[in-house]
A and B are shown apart, each in its own frame.
Chain A
Amino acid sequence: MTGNLLIVLFDGLAFGMLLFVLSVGLSVTLGLMNFVNLGHGAFGMLGGYVALVVTREAGLSFFLALPAAFVGAAVVGIACERTLFRRLYRSGELNQVLFTVGLVFVATAIATFLFGTGQQPIQIPDVLRGSVEIGGLRFGIYRIFLIVVALAVTAALIFGLEFTRFGASVRAAVDNQRVAQGLGIDVDTIFAITFALGCGLAGLGGALAIEIVGLDPTFAFHYLIYVLIVVAVGGLGSIGGSFLAAALLGIADVGGKYFVPELGSFLIYLLMVGVLFWRPLGLFGKR
């Protein structure tokens, strides 16, 4: 029983880390730029298909597919930001919601057209397959890999935002856009880069997700729900909050399906409602 519990905790944590990589970009862009991008899941899906093309069509390694997924989603993200989203920064949340949801429909249609509706498997390298045995319990290597990647992303984000000049100018631009501009900070470019990084992380998450949850054109909508829960529970703009919320959500989801299958995937919604009753701004939310 404790063994099962440990494995469920571990699997849940790994799933949570996947959700973290998928969502943290939205938390940053929503929290910092107040732009409601419900298309975030579509960038995750895009990363997934990029990884698929790189491994299957081009025959390259999964380890190359991950950075390719990041770059692909970031480039498309910055193109969307420059041409479409920036027009919506001042136009109210309802417009942003409607537009970006529309974008998800478009993305879903394009994915269906190009790849069909079926689940797409991905080839992962042998070193990531199988499991290691520790104290009589078997831990999946791929899940360990997910946890390591998520920790590295967290460390890089916190370092980038808190300890670099770029991070300081992002925070300055968020605190007071006009004054930042008046001091010579190019706020437009900074927001575009931040947005691209957020999309890139979603793309990376999408590529990492295929091995665990598969990939089909419903991905963008299906994972949008998880992403929004992570962002709401964690608190807007809080990297630490997203991390904690994603871990909780992953563990609750896996644990719920294992121990209380009658509740099934409903448990996570209960968890979200509970946390938001307790802290309406999320675990680490400031506004």
Chain B
Amino acid sequence: MAEPLLELDDVSAGYGEGIVLDHVSVFLPAGGSLALLGRNGVGKTTMILTIMGFLSLAGGAVRFRGQDVSRLAAHQRARRGIGWVPQERDIFPSLTVEENLTVAARAGRWDLASIYGLFPRLHERKGNMGNQLSGGEQQMLTIGRTLMTNPDVLLLDEPLEGLAPIIVEELTAAIRRMARDEGMALVLVEQHAEVALDLTEDAVVIERGVIAHRAKSHDLLADRETLDRFVGLNLAAE
């Protein structure tokens, strides 16, 4: 078994008294990629927020690069290399596109030039305010903003949600480049199971806060029956 980069060890967590994640264990090797699948409201975002440290643990531990980070604040986890791309995009509206990219930047492989190379549209709009962008541009900015922090793992929470097919294609290509060419580790939450499975090596399916199924992404993609049972066929809509 490869050295784990990110590990959830028997984690239970939720909001206040309510437990959403119930004894969840997940593990991601360096350079690995994991699809988190599941229907609406099963706890996918909760899992991402738990990794980031926004929710308090009711049990278990979150480990990153071999160290227990369960007690660290969110900004400390981010600085250690966990890169979060939030589901609601949440561009900073009172910052320009370029300020959105630079405000939390840390030195490393990704800088303004390489982000503009990945998303040329952002370069065209660099002087615009964050809230003057289309949905697709906002998603590119959200991903670019997190890449600028030069993380070791990228947690993408439904990055393709609600976007036009042509933008989905562009973003999928960008994510593929990051994962395959740059060796960026990924956790990808998606409703579009087909896209997510195509982009990742491993997959887990969550159902009401527990892990209901684990598989290689490649195998799960072929296993229509299991997919249909746990995720519902978003595939048909493709």
A interface residue numbers (CB < 8 A to B): 165, 168-169, 171-172, 174-176, 178-187
B interface residue numbers (CB < 8 A to A): 52, 54, 73-75, 78-79, 84, 86, 90, 92-95, 99-100, 102-104, 106, 145-146, 149
Bound complex: CA A176 to CA B145 (Å) = 14
Contacts of B149 in A (CB 8 A): 183-184
Q: Which of A172, A175, A176, A181 contacts B78 (CB 8 A)?
A: A181
Whether A179 pairs with B103 at a CB distance below 8 angstroms is no
Whether B78 pairs with A171 at a CB distance below 8 angstroms is no
- From residue A243, how far is it (CB to closest CB) to chain B in Å? 19
Whether B84 pairs with A183 at a CB distance below 8 angstroms is yes
Q: Quick one: closest B residue to A166, CB to CB?
A: B103
Whether B95 pairs with A168 at a CB distance below 8 angstroms is yes
Q: Which of B52, B95, B103 contacts A182 (CB 8 A)?
A: B52
- From residue B88, how far is it (CB to closest CB) to chain A in Å? 9
What number of residue pairs across chains A and B have CB atoms under 8 A from each other? 61
Q: Which of B74, B104, B145 contacts A169 (CB 8 A)?
A: B104
Bound complex: CA A80 to CA B38 (Å) = 47
Given contacts A171-B95, A174-B94, contact A182 B102 (CB under 8 A): no
Quick one: which of A168, A174, A180 has the most chain B CB within 10 A?
A: A168
How would you classify the secondary structure of chain A's contact residues: helix, strand, loop or mixed?
helix
30 contacts between A and B (CB under 8 A): A165-B102, A165-B103, A168-B95, A168-B99, A169-B103, A169-B104, A171-B92, A171-B94, A172-B95, A172-B100, A172-B103, A175-B92, A175-B95, A176-B92, A179-B86, A179-B92, A180-B92, A182-B52, A182-B54, A183-B78, A183-B104, A183-B145, A183-B146, A184-B75, A184-B79, A184-B104, A184-B106, A184-B149, A185-B75, A185-B104
Q: Quick one: closest B residue to A176, CB to CB?
A: B90
Bound complex: CA A38 to CA B92 (Å) = 29
Contacts of A182 in B (CB 8 A): 52, 54, 74-75, 78, 84, 86
Q: Quick one: closest A residue to B130, CB to CB?
A: A175
Contacts of B78 in A (CB 8 A): 181-184
Bound complex: CA A187 to CA B92 (Å) = 14
Given contacts A182-B78, A184-B104, A185-B75, contact A175 B86 (CB under 8 A): no
